[in-house]
Amino acid sequence: MTQQELPNGMTVHGLNRNETEYLYKEIFEDEVYTPGDGFGFPERPVVFDVGANIGMFALFMAAKFPEARIFSFEPVPRTFDALQKNAAGVPNVSVFNMALGDAAQTRELTFYPQYSMMSGFDADPEVDRALVKSYIGNIAETLDEDRRDLLLEEADELIGERFDTVERVPVRIDRLETVAADLGIDRIDFLKIDVEGFEVKVLEGIGDALWARIGRAAVEVEDDNGELAVVTKLFAEHGMETVVEQPAEYRGTSVHTVFAVRPAGVAP
């Protein structure tokens, strides 16, 4: 485990420095989970962070909304250890070593110790290598010729090393509606989901009563087999409007972000 200071002065624990730096840029600088029209929160908003990794989004939200109640879920024990350390000094963040899905069960997850962000229940090293290579290629297009060539030359070696080590980790899964009920939560003002291909299962575990009490959401979707259509349909069926975006660096890949909002809001 590493420990490093971020550009904003925060000190965090992580699994490796490069990954921590990427997460900081994505969440604090690029604000990839922030809706285009802002959060529009009530007082003391409830935030569910599903697929928390080391907790960068929880730290972002806790800094932005000190009165928020933030619940972060990360199933991999090693990653959860970093999350727990990072949340230790943040009183409004609660952390849970588990996954959320459509049914209570224990299931094996593919964990990449050198690339924890790509870990998932249906992870495939070859598919994940190709996705990261496309991402790097898109980044390279924004560079001058010399830097572009250098990055592309180093990419294959970098990608290969990151996916060489694979671990199978049994993790606990429960339905989101069950966990929310156990916590005494009857509304979610912002639901963030980034679970590497398991997003449909998470949404299928919400339940009709809780669906009606969700105000906004941001979901990363891997559209390999029609998942994007399923996700947008689920939101529409439960009274939420969606906007689909694809960051430039993911152009030509299956990765999209779905932002959803309940136009009338959620009653107090």
* Cα gap 158→81, rounded to integer Å: 25
pLDDT tens-digit readout, 62-96? 999 999 999 999 999 999 999 999 999 899 999 99
Q: Averaged over 247-255, what is the pLDDT?
A: 82
Higher pLDDT, 2 or 205: 205
- Residue by residue, DSSP assigns 182-219 as HTT---EEEEEE--TT-HHHHHHTS-HHHHTTEEEEEE
Across the chain, mean pLDDT equals: 89
Give the tens place of pLDDT for each residue, 153-211: 556 666 667 777 889 999 999 999 999 999 999 999 999 999 988 999 999 999 999 99
Strand 105-111 and strand 99-101: the pairing is: unpaired
Which of 82, 88, 83, 47 is closest to 65 using CA atoms? 47
pLDDT of residue 86: 98
What pLDDT is recorded for position 158? 65
Q: What are 207-219's pLDDT values in tens digits?
A: 999 999 999 999 9
Least confident of 36-45, 112-121, 136-145: 136-145
Counting every residue written for the chain, the total comes to 268
Cβ atoms of 27 and 57 closer than 8 Å? yes
CATH, range 42-111+171-261? 3.40.50.150
Q: What pLDDT is stored for residue 92 in this prediction?
A: 96
Cα–Cα nearest to 107, from 207, 222, 178, 197: 197
Cβ-proximal residues to 32 (8 Å cutoff; 6+ apart), any chain: 26, 247, 257
What CA dihedral angle connects 61, 10, 71 and 246, to 10 degrees? 50
Helices (H), the chain: 17-24, 56-64, 77-87, 125-140, 145-164, 176-182, 199-204, 208-211, 227-237
Confidence category of residue 118, pLDDT binned at 50, 70, 90: confident
- Which has the closest alpha carbon to 116: 50, 162, 150, 151? 162
114-128, 143-157, 231-245, 248-262: range with lowest mean pLDDT: 143-157
Tokens found for residue 160: 């290969």
Rounded Cα distance between 10 and 82, Å, is: 14
Name the 3-class secondary structure at 28. Answer: helix
Task: Give strand pairing partners of 150.
Answer: none
Percent of the chain with pLDDT strictly greater than 90: 64
Provide the pLDDT for residue 147: 52
pLDDT of 22 strictly over 80: yes
**Residue predicted with more confidence, 233 or 141:** 233
In the chain, domain spans: 42-111+171-261
Give the C-alpha separation, 38 to 26, whole Å. 17
Distance from C-alpha of 167 to C-alpha of 214, rounded to nearest angstrom: 35
State how far the Cα of 115 lies from the Cα of 164, in Å rounded to an integer: 10
- Determine which of 196-210, 223-237, 244-258 has the lowest per-residue pLDDT on average: 244-258
Q: Is the pLDDT reported for residue 231 higher than 70? A: yes
Beta-bridge mates of residue 100: 174
